[in-house]
């Protein structure tokens, strides 16, 4: 961030501050971090940040949180920090999950317009718009908050569900990944190209305490010929009585009942498998 003698005096301290924060890798920062870097009080730094927002050097992304707009943005400031990086600052603890993680692991060719963030902390707004991007916060019980890995995005490590937990989360909440068809596609791609650990997926499924997950998993895998029959015969011993819907995101239309997996099949075979013909 180059400054010359033409830079207005009221902005020079601010640009020095932004250069200092950038050098520390804090492209997104809080008021407290800005005050610490500027060696002043939070109240005094607020005025400086307000001016920088008006000038276009900063974006105010959430109460008390700011994003440094880099020089690459040009005069019109047309730029955005990676959406996952922004998401990582919005709630704690957090992990990128569901359709967003499915896309990250290349288990779908669909690019969701919403960033799905899983957390155990209640947040005032379940949905948030920042720089034209939608963020959706999914609150889960602590026992469902596991299977998290870290990946580098620029200079920051971001929490994201691992490939097996991503599949299990999508089986748990098909409506958060485009439906059971997208889940089945993800399982197929993961099995064929990503060497997913099916035993790990089964263990994750049981840990989630949603009996429908293991039923959906077994049904999909047998429908697409994934894995060996002896393995799935053992898995059937772990399922509970009572029937669950194959796709909880759909209505209650019933195409068939599958007694082996105790499922009400509420999506046609054609709809479930049509992605294989594209």
CATH number of residue 48's parent domain: 1.10.10.10
Q: 53-73: per-residue pLDDT in tens? A: 888 888 888 888 898 876 554
On the question of pLDDT at 3 being above 70, the answer is no
Query: Does any domain span residue 2?
Result: no
For residues 111 and 247, give the distance between their C-alpha atoms in angstroms, rounded to a whole number.
21
Q: What is the pTM of this model?
A: 0.82
pLDDT score, position 71: 58
Report the domain count for the chain.
2
* Average pLDDT estimate for 2-13: 47
Query: Does any domain span residue 4?
Result: no
pLDDT score, position 12: 58
Residues 188 and 74 grouped into a single domain: no
Residues 53 and 96 grouped into a single domain: no
Residues 60 and 121 grouped into a single domain: no
Query: Does any domain span residue 250?
Result: yes
Is the CA virtual torsion 141, 143, 148, 154 positive or negative?
positive
pLDDT score, position 78: 52
pLDDT score, position 130: 84
Residues 198 and 71 grouped into a single domain: no
Q: Residue 191: which residues within 8 A CB-CB, separation 6 or more?
A: 198, 226, 227
For 49-74, b/e burial (b = at least 16 CB within 10 A) is bebbbeeebbbebbeebbbbbeeeee
On the question of pLDDT at 154 being above 80, the answer is no
For 186-218, b/e burial (b = at least 16 CB within 10 A) is bbbbbbeeeebebebbbebbbebebbbbbbbbb
pLDDT top residue among 134 and 132? 134
Residues 139 and 75 grouped into a single domain: no
Q: 192-217: per-residue pLDDT in tens? A: 988 899 999 999 999 999 999 999 99
Residue 19: closest CA among 50, 47, 58, 60: 58
For residues 35 and 66, give the distance between their C-alpha atoms in angstroms, rounded to a whole number.
13
Residues 68 and 183 grouped into a single domain: no
In terms of average pLDDT, the best of 130-139, 154-163, 201-210, 245-254 is 201-210
For residues 207 and 146, give the distance between their C-alpha atoms in angstroms, rounded to a whole number.
10
Q: Name the residue range of residue 47's domain.
A: 9-79
For residues 233 and 214, give the distance between their C-alpha atoms in angstroms, rounded to a whole number.
12
Residues 196 and 89 grouped into a single domain: yes
CA–CA distances in Å: residue 233 to residues 97, 119, 168, 261: 30, 34, 20, 10
CB 99 within 8 A of CB 124: no
Query: Does any domain span residue 159?
Result: yes
pLDDT score, position 7: 39
Query: Does any domain span residue 62?
Result: yes
Q: Point out the domain boundary residue: 40, 62, 79.
A: 79
Residues 117 and 245 grouped into a single domain: yes
For 113-135, b/e burial (b = at least 16 CB within 10 A) is eebbbbbbeeeeeeebebeeeeb
């Amino acid at each position: 961030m180059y400054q010359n003698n033409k830079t207005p005096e009221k902005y020079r301290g601010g640009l020095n501050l932004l250069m200092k924060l950038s050098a520390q890798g804090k492209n997104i920062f809080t008021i407290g971090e800005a005050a610490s870097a500027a060696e002043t009080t939070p109240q005094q730094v607020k005025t400086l940040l307000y001016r920088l927002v008006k000038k276009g050097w900063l974006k105010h992304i959430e109460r008390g949180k700011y994003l440094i707009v880099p020089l690459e943005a040009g005069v019109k400031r047309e730029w955005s920090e990676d959406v996952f990086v922004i998401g990582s600052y919005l709630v704690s603890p957090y992990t990128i999950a569901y359709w967003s993680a499915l896309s990250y692991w290349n288990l779908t060719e669909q690019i969701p317009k919403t960033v799905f963030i899983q957390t155990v902390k209640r947040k005032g707004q379940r949905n948030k718009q920042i720089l034209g991007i939608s963020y959706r916060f999914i609150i889960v019980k602590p026992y469902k908050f596991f299977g998290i890995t870290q990946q580098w995005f620029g200079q920051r490590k971001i929490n994201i569900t691992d490939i097996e937990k991503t599949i299990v989360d999508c089986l748990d909440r098909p409506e958060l990944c485009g439906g059971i068809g997208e889940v089945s596609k993800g399982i197929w791609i993961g099995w064929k190209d990503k060497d997913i650990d099916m035993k790990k997926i089964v263990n994750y499924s049981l840990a989630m305490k949603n009996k429908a997950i293991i039923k959906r998993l077994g049904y999909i895998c047998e429908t697409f010929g994934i894995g060996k029959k002896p393995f799935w015969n053992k898995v059937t011993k772990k399922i509970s009585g009572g029937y669950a819907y194959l796709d909880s995101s759909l209505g209650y239309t019933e195409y068939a009942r599958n007694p082996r997996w105790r499922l009400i099949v509420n999506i046609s075979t054609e709809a479930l498998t049509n992605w294989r013909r594209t």
